[in-house]
Homo-oligomer: A and B are copies of this chain.
Amino acid sequence: MEEVEIKKLVKDVESLYDAGKLDIILNVVESLHPVDLAEVYQHLTTDTREQVFHLLDSDTASAVLVELDQPLQQEILEDIDSGRLTEIVQELESDDMTDLVSQLSSETAHQLLSAMDKEDSDEVRELLLHPEKSAGGIMAKEFVSVDESRTVDEAIAELRSRADEVQDVYYIFVVDDRGILVGFLSLKKLILSPSLARVNTVMNRDVISVKTDRDQEEVAHIVKKYDLVSIPVVDDSGILVGRITIDDVMDVVDEEASEDIHKMAGIGEEARLRESSPFRMSRVRLPWLITGLVGGLFAAVILSHFEQSLSKIIALSFFTPVIMSMGGSIGIQSSTIVVRGLATGEISFIDSYKHLYKEMKVSLINGFICSVILFGVAVIWQDIKLGILLGGSLFLIMNVAALVGALAPLLLRKVQVDPAIATGPFITISNDIVGLIIYFSLSTLILG
């Protein structure tokens, strides 16, 4: 649904609410996809949305609840009576259940868990044990599996018996008598196989799975690489314990891309925007600003050491900004290419030297072109000596900055540190400092 339609619906619901026509609101609301309903819901006034949520049956209410941003979820969770909460939460799949429970105060969570069916609460308790960003932390306990000795017909019966509980089924997982994952069957294959065939004669044995402790980013990589729509999760002994569906993988991909983009801009983990107060938001951004400030003061100290040159040749200071910013720009370019290449898998460790070599060629070309331009401008505007100084410094600085930019993420990954921090302000600040030192050292050398 388009933004304009959402906007119109919000208006409609608000005026229906003002006119007290709750029954018409219910009609409107029931005709919407839960995803669209959640979007409308977000933009309603507090009073209206409280009333609207009360109107929903527990099935729709749970579908809307998972789509909402955390602050709005919180609002509902705090507001709702515990009977209804239990009803709504039990409609959810176990991964969404776990996400919700982890947001509650430990007292409310405890209450909710005791009110739930034992099976559901056991699942949630198990899922809560896994780190949030691991395969175990994002998997759901809802999946369909059959023993390998069963027939296709029995697999279909199993699917039927679990149909209400497991929303989206694309594969049926096949396990042996110890519960160890040994294969899978796509539903297409299931439909097309003879009904009396044994599952282990028709299943695909090349099943790709992940262990519970696998990092969510790696899970996303695997799912993308092998074009899966759902991936089974196994424990250390290979026993099937859960599955991760593609929609959750999509969320991971978005989350990780946002994280990288934010790191590039010197923004800490901000999780979601809507949920944060300005104070929390300033706190995640302040560290890099302070680092930048310290770096800038350091630059000031360096400049003050060259006070004599600066006061003799005032034109030196005209070009400080351009010298510094060009090193920053080319450094960001080369580090970004490498960081993103590592993140998407386009650059692998096997061929990282090749890339480094290519980056250096690129910086030699671009450094040369920019230096010649700066040389020309300086000669025309000032004199040839300054031209040589500026052209020479710029060439040197741009190549050093590009090398640092490309090398830093590779080294960071080698020592298991997230390479994305190399694209952040850290590289820019170091390049600033190195640039200044090169520029003023050369100036002493060339201009005396």
Task: List A residues at the B interface (Cβ < 8 Å).
Answer: 3, 6-7, 10, 33, 35, 43, 156, 159-160, 163, 168-170, 186-188, 190-192, 206, 208, 224-227, 229, 246-247, 250, 253-254, 257-258, 260-262, 264-267, 270, 272-274, 278-279, 281-282, 285-286, 288-290, 292-293, 295-297, 299-301, 303-304, 307, 310-311, 314-315, 317-326, 329-330, 332-333, 335-337, 340-341, 344, 346-351, 355, 358, 361-362, 365-366, 369-370, 373-374, 377, 423, 425, 428-429, 432, 436
Pick from B192, B262, B304, B332: contact of A315, CB under 8 Å: B304
Top-3 shortest CB links A-B: A296-B322, A265-B336, A278-B361
A200 to chain B, nearest CB (A): 20
B320 in contact with A264 (CB, 8 Å) = no
Contacting residues, chain B, for A281 (C-beta < 8 A): 358, 362
Known: A163-B192, A225-B35, A261-B264. A322 touches B299 (CB 8 A): yes
Known: A274-B346, A289-B370. A321 touches B300 (CB 8 A): yes
B322 in contact with A320 (CB, 8 Å) = no
A268 to chain B, nearest CB (A): 10
Counting chain B CB atoms within 10 Å of each CB, the highest count among A188, A270, A301, A350 belongs to A188
Pick from B261, B297, B325: contact of A336, CB under 8 Å: B261
Complex-state Cα separation, A77 to B169, whole angstroms: 39
Contacting residues, chain B, for A266 (C-beta < 8 A): 329, 332-333
Counting chain B CB atoms within 10 Å of each CB, the highest count among A324, A325, A340 belongs to A325
Determine how many copies of this chain the complex contains.
2
Complex-state Cα separation, A398 to B266, whole angstroms: 15
Complex-state Cα separation, A208 to B1, whole angstroms: 10
Contacting residues, chain B, for A324 (C-beta < 8 A): 321, 325
Contacting residues, chain B, for A332 (C-beta < 8 A): 265-266
Known: A265-B337, A292-B329. 17 other contacts (CB 8 A): A6-B350, A7-B350, A33-B208, A35-B225, A43-B351, A168-B229, A250-B250, A260-B261, A267-B336, A272-B346, A290-B370, A293-B322, A307-B314, A310-B317, A317-B317, A321-B324, A324-B325
Contacting residues, chain B, for A267 (C-beta < 8 A): 333, 336-337
A341 to chain B, nearest CB (A): 6
Pick from B187, B246, B254, B336: contact of A262, CB under 8 Å: B336
Complex-state Cα separation, A176 to B335, whole angstroms: 54
Known: A295-B325, A347-B273. A314 touches B311 (CB 8 A): yes
Complex-state Cα separation, A306 to B351, whole angstroms: 50
A-B contact pairs, 11 of them (CB 8 A): A10-B350, A246-B246, A257-B261, A260-B261, A278-B358, A281-B362, A282-B365, A282-B366, A286-B366, A296-B326, A311-B314
